[in-house]
Each structure stands twice: as structure tokens, then as C-alpha cells.
Amino acid sequence: MTEAHPQVDDDPYRWLEEVTGTAALDWVRARNAETVEELTHGERFARLRDELREVLDADDRIPYVRRRGEYLYNFWRDAAHPRGLWRRTTLDEYRRAEPDWDVLLDIDALAEAEGENWVWQGAAVLRPGFRRCLVELSRGGADATVVREFDLDRREFVPDGFTLPEAKSSVAWIDEDRIYVGTDFGEGSLTSSGYPRLVKEWRRGTPLSEATLVFEGKPEDVAVRGFHDPTEGWERDLVRRSIDFYRSELYLRTADGLVRVDVPDDAVASVHREWLLVRTRSPWRVAGAEHPGGTLLAARLEDFLAGERTMTVLFEPDAHTSLDYYDWTRHHLVVGTLSDVTTRLRVLTPGPDGWRDEPLPGVPEIGSVQVVDTEPDHSDEILLDVTGYTQPSSLVHGEVGGELETLKQAPAFFDSAGITTEQFFATSADGTRIPYFVVGAHRNGPGPTLLTGYGGFEVSLTPSYSGMIGRGWLARGGTYVVANLRGGGEYGPDWHSQAVKAHRHRVYEDFAAVAADLVARGVTTPATLGIQGGSNGGLLMGVMLTRHPERFGAIVSQVPLLDMRRYHQLLAGASWMAEYGDPDDPAEWAYLGPYSPYHNVRSGQNYPPTLFVTSTRDDRVHPGHARKMVALMREHGYDVRYHENIEGGHGAAADNAQLAFKWALVFEFLWEQLAPAQR
């Protein structure tokens, strides 16, 4: 057997890490041309691209909204507005089939007027009053943004308002004349992950250089940020220091200085009016009681800061049920849980006799339910998104404790007649049962199947409707499978912690077990089983390529991590060391090296056909990962394709046309490899 690729110091493809280097981009363009030539000239590709674009641009999609004061705000893209419109309307108007929208900002017009490739990244609206906001725009979809103050009444950017040049900044309103700002202030102001290390208070009309320092994190932290709670009667200022991806500290800013909220640094603390909530990630013994990881606890903040440690248990996990999320309304706490990856909603209400716990009535116990928005300042209004793999989303509105109404219903983008959703469990190498969903039509024998997974950062993959998957895969006779691997959050923090650092191999064992189970059940065969994943899921695809190539007929890896020897030195990579480990530590490289895809490519292997997709403008996961992997595989003569969008950010697409093109490439490649007769 040949040796693995040499260590990084001898890396012959390091030059491909020069994101916009002339030689690197020449290489990218050459690979793009080869992939486009191979995959885009058939009739099927054109149909796929056009059908997917119809999904993305459909006029009858749900325009999802968030309430800010009296208005509901929405950002909308369609064929006529590929970069998008930021707009607002009232609830009464929104109830109409065709609401009258008040357009605040036309990103297409702005980009044309300024000669910039602007991509919308959101806006922070000042509470209360809702007259001003801080708009964030990125060039080509990058994480780094330009910040500009915008007047919502005048529909224009504020002359001499708060502005920041391109950086990975954090901004938050204090009042109309002050904001918290973290940005690139110069040498030493960013963490090793490239995020703000300093929080400053910046007053209107003064230069940024005169902003007052509020908090300074450490260079090795992930980030720090300041924010203001404007809730009437409970106004306060806070700073959160993110030590790593899973540890943080919360401080109250007082007249006497910063006061830390003394909870374990791997717990998440938050405040609402008089309440402190603590979500544990590991067991916490406090006031004589032991609380397991994944518990949600409550205490009165004033009492807690005074030293009282008696906590009320609001949720405690069991073997099948975990805490997914929680959101406040004015009087209630809405808690979403996952029971074997199916959503259940509860309403917890504090009162003089303690907390009342009731189900939220009127919500179906199928698929997935997400809280889209609440109005915690003045009402118990709630917006819910109800969806499933074959169930188009419904946007449900109402008041907690009152009737719920369906405000908007998403269209069906594919015929789901005969398509079912089933949940199965595979047994991983250590005996752990791994749930996965199979979506598809019953047929007489195995057929083309697309399996996806993520397995990291405590991210849960819950059932949701995708017109893209529906049209590109299910409607054409394919079966779609979602694996709920360890490393995710489907069963709480323990499900995640079982697969971090030295235990990362369990993610890959889980995914391989699901692949084997699909074959054993007769759903598919290795030759007709394709896999796809992005980011951390792209790393998963790279590991499957080098560890279990015999189990798959085709692999798609999108915006992936692949070089685990240098990931922490590339863009935001240092922020993920709590998940993967530190490759500069020999003890940790000892478990990273054996699965690092870039270091485990060998000649003479039966690797299946592979497609790598990434973006030049991805400033989160460096495009050099995918570039170098493809160059190395080409050196060994493997069947590999590559496409890099010159813009697009971590999503690898800056507008709907690019997104439709990208997914059409992916589906065309998969159909060609897994079912070449189906043209």
C-alpha cells in the first residue's frame, strides 16, 4: 500500500490556499470549465435548473416575517429581484393573498447604483421606536459585512450615521445615539478565529477611534459581543464572551463594573425580565441537586446574583426526548422538544404558585415545528412554521392560550402521492441505535438513493419540506434519506459530546452503519447509493470517500473541511477546535490524522465518482480545502469533478440563479452516476 499524502510542510498544493491568487483562480476556472462541459449540456440539466429556479422564485412561497413594532418585516427574492427587497407590511395586510408591501430597500437597485455585488445579511432594528436600523451587506455573500445606518421613515441611509467598513463585525443598539461595536480596530483587535476580541461603546458623532472599551477578550477566544436589553422596566446591558464553541461567560454591565452570571461556562445563560434561564450542557450540581446535561433551569435573576442557588427545573431530558429550543412571549415560555426527532411544544407560565406546564394546543404532533417569531415586549403573539418531508410549510399565527390561524400555506412543488416517510434505526459499531428517515415511494426493488447527514456542532436535522429535493430527486423516482448522527443535537448535549475530538470516529461509524442498513433493508445498493453533505457534512463526505468507498456509488462534498492538519489556520477554523481538536497538539493530531481526508488519499483505491462544490467568497470554510483535495485526487488519477462559484459565501450561491445552477449540477451528477439510464 502506498503512503498517505505527506504532512503539511511538504504539501505541494499549498499554493491553492491563495484565495484570489492568479494561479489558483486560473486552476479554478479550468476545473469549472471541465465540470460545466461535462454536466450542463444535456436536456436533463436544463430541466433541472429551470424547475429548481421555479421553486426558488415562486411568487406563492411563504414570505416569512418578523415583527418589529407595528410592522411585519420580510426579505424577498424573486426573478425580478434576484438580490432582493427588504420590505414591511401590517398584520391585516399580511393576511391578504397579495399584501401591499412597503419596500424599504431594493438591494438590486443599490448594487447597481454603487457598482457593488451586495448580498443582504440582515438588519438590527432599534427598540423601542423602530425608526433606525443597522443594515449589514456583504460583497458576494461573504460572512464579512459592511454596516450602514438606515432611516426607516425616510427610506435612506443616514448621512454621517454609524458605518463600518468590511469586517466580521458585531453591532447592537444601546439607544439612538450609542451602539456596541466589535470590529477590526487594528492589530490585536481580532481573535485567532477572525472575530471581534474587543467590545466598545460608540457614541454618535464621534470617530470610531474614540469608542470606549467595555470588555476585552483573550486572543484565543472565539468572539465577544455586547448587547442591550431595552425591555421597559428591565433595561440592562450585557456582554457575552465566547471562550470556544461550547463555553461562554455572561456579564451584566453595571455602574460598578461587569458582574459575571456565575453558571458553568459550558451552560448557556439568558435573561428575560426578572428571570434567569440556564441550559446545561454537562451535569451541574447546585444547591444540593444534580441536574443532567440538557436540563433547562430557572431562577429569579436578582436572587441568583445575591447568592441564592435554588433552581426550578423547567425541562429535564430522558432517553428519547431532548430540548430543542425555547422562546419567550410576554407572559409565557414556549419550549420545543424533540422526541425521537419529532417536535413537541410545551408552554411554561410563571405564576405566584410556581411554573405551570401545559401543551401548546392546536399544533399537529408530526414532523417539525419551529418558532419563527414572538413579541416578548408587549404580547403573547407567536408565529410557527409547521412542516414535514412531504408536508409543505404552514405559517401559523396566534396568541399563546388562544386560537391559532394558518396565515400562509406554502405551495406543493412536487407530487407527493405515494411518497411516504418512515423512521428506522441502524446499529453503529459500538451498539448505539442511530435514527434515520427514509422518504420515497414504495417500489419492488432497490433504486437510486440520496443519503445526507451532518453529525456536528449539536445541530439537529429535523423533518422539513424541500421543493429542491422534491423536484430534483423525489419526483424523479429517487429515495431521500436523512441520518441523525451523533455529534448532532437530536438527543441533547450528550448525543453531541459522544462524538467530539477523540470520539469523532463515531460520526463516521454511525453514517457507515446507516448506509449498510439501507442496503440490508433492500432500499438501495452500494452502486445506487449517493451521499451528499456540506461544511462539517462535507468533511463527513470526505471521510466516507477515503474510509468506505466501497459503500457508495457517488459522493458530493460541498463547502467542505478536508485538510484537518491546517483547518485551524484557515479563516474561521480556529473557532472549531472545541469540536475537532488542535492539530498542533501531537496527542490530538494522533486522532485527527487518521481521518483527515486530505491526508488519507491513496493510490490504487476504488473511489467512487466525486463532485466537490465550494465558493471563492466563502470566508468561513476556506475554499483551499476542496481545491487541494481535488488536485491531489487528480494527481492519483481519480474520477473527480470540481465547481467553485466565484461568489456566494458559505452557501456557495449569492442569488437564486446561482443556487439553482449549483443544485442542478449536483442532481445531474448524481443521476448520471446512480441511474445513467434515466436520462
Instruction: List, by residue number, the catalytic residues.
Output: 535, 650
Q: How many Å apart are CA 362 and CA 364, to the nearest integer?
A: 7
What are 550's strand-pairing partners?
none
**Four-CA torsion 409, 413, 417, 419, nearest 10 degrees:** -100
Beta strands in 284-353 (DSSP E): 284-286, 289-291, 296-300, 312-315, 321-328, 333-339, 342-351
Name the residue with cell 422564485.
57
Name the residue with cell 491546517.
566
Burial label for 111, CB within 10 Å (0-12, 13-18, 19+), is middle
For 50, the grid coordinates are 429551470
Cβ atoms of residues 64 and 372 within 8 Å = yes
Could you tell me which of 577, 580, 569 has the C-alpha nearest to residue 194?
Answer: 569
Helices 22-39 and 624-635, interaxial angle, to 10°?
Answer: 70
Q: What's the length of the chain? A: 679
Residue type, 364: P
529-534 vs 554-558, strand pairing mode: parallel
Residue 119's Cα: distance from chain center in Å? 17
Residue type, 325: Y
Query: How many CB atoms are located within 10 Å of the residue 330 CB?
Result: 17
Contacts of 187 (CB under 8 A, 6+ apart): none
Backbone angles phi, psi at 157, to 5 degrees: -70, 145
What are 482's strand-pairing partners?
437, 452
DSSP state of 678: -
Q: How many Å apart are CA 273 and CA 276, to the nearest integer?
A: 8
Q: How many Å apart are CA 424 and CA 523, to the nearest integer?
A: 12
What are 618's strand-pairing partners?
none
E strand or H helix at 659: helix 656-674
Could you tell me which of 450, 451, 456 has the C-alpha nearest to residue 621?
Answer: 456
